Copies of this chain bind each other. A is one copy, B any other.
Amino acid sequence: MQPIGKTRWAIAEGYIPSESTGGGRALMSHETACLLNVGDADAHVSITLFFKDREPAGPYQVTVGARRTLHLRFNDIDDPEPVPRDTDYASVIESDVPVVVQHTRLDSRQSELALLTTIAYAQN
């Protein structure tokens, strides 16, 4: 399939609550960057995190295979350092081939979950 997407993306919102009420991984509070690579070459992706009052963290490196999607939880990345909880952050996602990025959060701090999503901001 013809590639679709761009090579630079930004998500200005980011926040991982330290609390969850949900049972198990599916309902744990999480913040996700959904990455889609429809092309025939692997996407080598580099993520940089920005904060309110310190220098950026990263880069975090992930690979999205050709013709694959990766729903990457910010909760799970920890190299070079874990993402701090209960802290405002933002992210820039850069790839060597076009990808599409969508931001989603599931918040289960209270007994009923809340969801948000948006396509990220794209620019080559």
Contact = CB atoms under 8 A, between A and B. Distances in A.
A5 B10 CA distance: 8
A84 to B, nearest CB: 13
A95 B71 CA distance: 26
Given A1-B48, A112-B111, A119-B121, A34 B13 contact: yes
Contact of A88 (B67, B71, B115, B122): B71
Nearest to A35: B12
Copies of this chain present in the complex amount to 4
Interface residues of A, number: 58
Interface of A: 1-2, 4-5, 8, 10-15, 17, 26-27, 32, 34-36, 38, 48, 50-53, 55-56, 67-71, 86, 88-90, 92, 100-105, 107, 109-123
